[in-house]
A = this chain, B = another copy of it.
Amino acid sequence: MLGLMQQHPLLVSSLLRFVERHNGDVEIVSRRVEGDLHRYTWSDAARRARQLANALDRTHVGNDSRVGTMAWNGYRHLELYYGVSGSGRVLHTINPRLHPEQVAWIVNHAEDEVVCFDTTFLPLVQSIHAKCPTVKLWVALCEEDGLVPNSGIPGLASYEVWIGTQSDHYEWPALDENRASSLCYTSGTTGNPKGALYTHRSTVLHAYATALPDVMCLSTRDTVLPVVPMFHVNAWGLPYSAALSGCKLVFPGPAMDGKSIHDLIEGERVTFAAGVPTIWQMLLTYLQANGLTFSTLARTVIGGSACTPAMIDAFRARYGVEVLHAWGMTETSPLGTLCTLKHKHLSLSPEAQMKVLLKQGRSVFGVDMKVVDEDGRELPWDGTSPGNLLTSGHWVVQGYFKDESAAPFVDEWFTTGDVATIDPDGYLQITDRSKDVIKSGGEWISSIEIESIAMAHPAVAMAACIGVKHPKWDERPIVAVVRKLGANVSREEMLAFYATKSVAKWQVPDDILFVDSIPLGATGKMLKNELREHLRDYRLPST
């Protein structure tokens, strides 16, 4: 028997309609490519999103057609988020920092019909447009006078001209909530990029969940600064959750340096900021160098990669800013876990709380996780048994765009590729990537844990731990070490250093190799595959 409650689809456009109606006068402030600050309100954003929807109709962009963006965080990008998805097209946010060949590959795979780009990325567009036959319109996110003459891009349009002549009356269609709303490609280290195709339903449920007190705790009293790019998993959903919560939004545009971010936080009285450790490190360095503080910032969510204790401590103890450590991925929209304390932790010492806060956190209702062994059997939540991390939920992929079977599953749980432990309170700790973990004598050794011990040695600039084949133990860990300029440390000293650390004897590496450099990818991650290839003729010392 069905119940008798009203049926309304969960739609991206309903978020915009709600914020316009209930918090229409709340500001949106954007630092632009031109360097100035642009100000308007959620009402203005809604009005212009409707103009954009009319422009898409006028340009005969079909239902479900992909509209690509290569843009910084700013108000026009926000209009694209709502105008494209709301009108039944699919917003495809492209990472413009990828290699041009990869950008072209992604545009072609997505079959983008329109691509809108910040003028910063004109050279990129100039280099790829001829290789993108599906794109029938390139739109520069600027006024008409911002268009470069003779750009070489046929029919290049100015966004302001394109939408400016359109009516701001538009009735958002009542779409199926399971329709695709946006598309984001993972920039995997191996193979071609894969597209996560979000739905209206998954986006709205994710917005509800991320705004909760145990997650980002967003209210209409908050001013939100998404430093994490809108081309990285929809800036962790903040353009949606900010509308749901009626927050003031502050966009940093291209200016990610410490001074620009600090000026914006202070000038706009930001209460909540979201970013990755590298950007936050630049911010902290700037603060310290200039003796500055935060006067309004209360919380920051940090994700993308693990956060150091020093960073959490600096935010908490020195600046009074609560740090929310998070884990997620493109395939999880991205909210997987977020770290807030439970009631039982409130009475702990700051040091004991820090131990909890260093973990990646716990699940929120709507998504769940488990760790399993190589046979898919669930492992205990004891905080010490590492296993393959699986996840399942309303905003987790069930396949990739035009490549559905490429997504790995175990019993309908998505395989994240991470190795993690879960403690009895449900706190996740990522210990490794599954392709990097070293399987020795039936036990798993975290390559990250082993290399971070080496990194703690004063003579070590960089260290990478990999597994090499062993006739008896299957694999054994070794560590490639780059010494600091002028520093000296021997193989034996390094191995002795391990003996002083809290690491089991069988986890101590079998060998230390000194190398000149370790190969790094575009985003600064160590390319361990290349290192393994480089060391393919290496043999373990006989013991």
A430 within 8 A of B: no
Contacts of A394 in B (CB 8 A): 5-6, 8, 10
Query: Given A26-B343, A214-B219, does the pair A4, B397 have CB atoms closer than 8 Å?
Result: yes
Size category, A interface: 35 or more
Question: Complex formed: what's the CA distance from A212 to B395 in Å?
Answer: 19
Q: Name the interface residues of A303-352: CB closer than 8 Å to any CB of B.
A: 333, 340-343, 346
Question: Complex formed: what's the CA distance from A217 to B217 in Å?
Answer: 8
B365 A179 Cβ-Cβ under 8 A: no
A181 B3 Cβ-Cβ under 8 A: yes
A142 within 8 A of B: no
B220 A5 Cβ-Cβ under 8 A: no
Contacts of A396 in B (CB 8 A): 5-6
Nearest to A9 among chain B residues (CB) is B394
Q: How far is the CB of A449 from chain B (nearest CB, A)?
A: 26
A365 B18 Cβ-Cβ under 8 A: yes
Query: Given A246-B342, A363-B22, does the pair A180, B2 have CB atoms closer than 8 Å?
Result: yes
Q: How far is the CB of A134 from chain B (nearest CB, A)?
A: 15
Question: Complex formed: what's the CA distance from A217 to B208 in Å?
Answer: 13
Interface string of A185-209 (1 = CB under 8 A from B): 0000000000011111110010011
Q: How far is the CB of A120 from chain B (nearest CB, A)?
A: 30
A398 within 8 A of B: yes
Contacts of A246 in B (CB 8 A): 214, 342
B248 A343 Cβ-Cβ under 8 A: yes
A59 within 8 A of B: no
Question: Complex formed: what's the CA distance from A340 to B218 in Å?
Answer: 13
Q: How far is the CB of A289 from chain B (nearest CB, A)?
A: 32
A457 within 8 A of B: no
B398 A4 Cβ-Cβ under 8 A: yes
A365 B90 Cβ-Cβ under 8 A: no
A8 B393 Cβ-Cβ under 8 A: yes
Query: Given A8-B394, A398-B4, does the pair A15, B219 have CB atoms closer than 8 Å?
Result: no
Q: How far is the CB of A62 from chain B (nearest CB, A)?
A: 10
Contacts of A197 in B (CB 8 A): 3-5
Question: Complex formed: what's the CA distance from A229 to B505 in Å?
Answer: 59
Partner of A340, one of B211, B212, B219, B333: B219
A343 B221 Cβ-Cβ under 8 A: yes
Q: Name the interface residues of A4-21: CB closer than 8 Å to any CB of B.
A: 4-8, 10, 14-15, 18, 21
Contacts of A8 in B (CB 8 A): 392-394
B202 A5 Cβ-Cβ under 8 A: yes
Nearest to A345 among chain B residues (CB) is B221
A244 within 8 A of B: yes
Q: Which segment of A399-407, A440-448, A471-479, A522-530 sits at the interface?
A: A399-407
A487 within 8 A of B: no
Contacts of A220 in B (CB 8 A): 214, 340, 342-343
Question: Complex formed: what's the CA distance from A265 to B414 in Å?
Answer: 43
Question: Complex formed: what's the CA distance from A396 to B6 in Å?
Answer: 6
Stoichiometry (number of copies):
2
A266 within 8 A of B: no
Contacts of A384 in B (CB 8 A): none
A257 within 8 A of B: no
A368 within 8 A of B: yes
Partner of A21, one of B198, B341, B426: B426
Nearest to A424 among chain B residues (CB) is B25
A76 within 8 A of B: no
Q: How far is the CB of A469 from chain B (nearest CB, A)?
A: 37
A429 within 8 A of B: no
Question: Complex formed: what's the CA distance from A4 to B396 in Å?
Answer: 9
A44 within 8 A of B: no
Q: Name the interface residues of A349-373: CB closer than 8 Å to any CB of B.
A: 362-363, 365, 368
**Most B-side CB within 10 Å, residue of A176, A201, A211:** A211
Contacts of A18 in B (CB 8 A): 363, 365, 368
Nearest to A394 among chain B residues (CB) is B8
Contacts of A234 in B (CB 8 A): none
A1 within 8 A of B: yes
A511 within 8 A of B: no
A119 within 8 A of B: no
A22 B362 Cβ-Cβ under 8 A: yes
Known: A213-B218, A213-B219, A246-B342; 11 extra A-B contacts, CB below 8 A, are A1-B90, A1-B179, A3-B199, A4-B197, A4-B399, A5-B197, A5-B397, A6-B393, A21-B426, A208-B209, A220-B343
| 9 A-B pairs with C-beta separation under 8 A | A1-B64, A1-B180, A4-B180, A4-B196, A4-B199, A5-B197, A6-B397, A213-B217, A221-B343
A→B interface (CB under 8 Å): 1-8, 10, 14-15, 18, 21-23, 26, 63-64, 90, 176, 178-181, 196-202, 205, 208-209, 211-214, 217-223, 244-246, 248, 333, 340-343, 346, 362-363, 365, 368, 392-401, 404, 412, 414, 426
Those 10 A-B pairs whose CB atoms lie nearest each other, nearest first: A3-B199, A213-B219, A3-B180, A5-B202, A1-B64, A208-B208, A4-B197, A22-B426, A244-B365, A6-B398
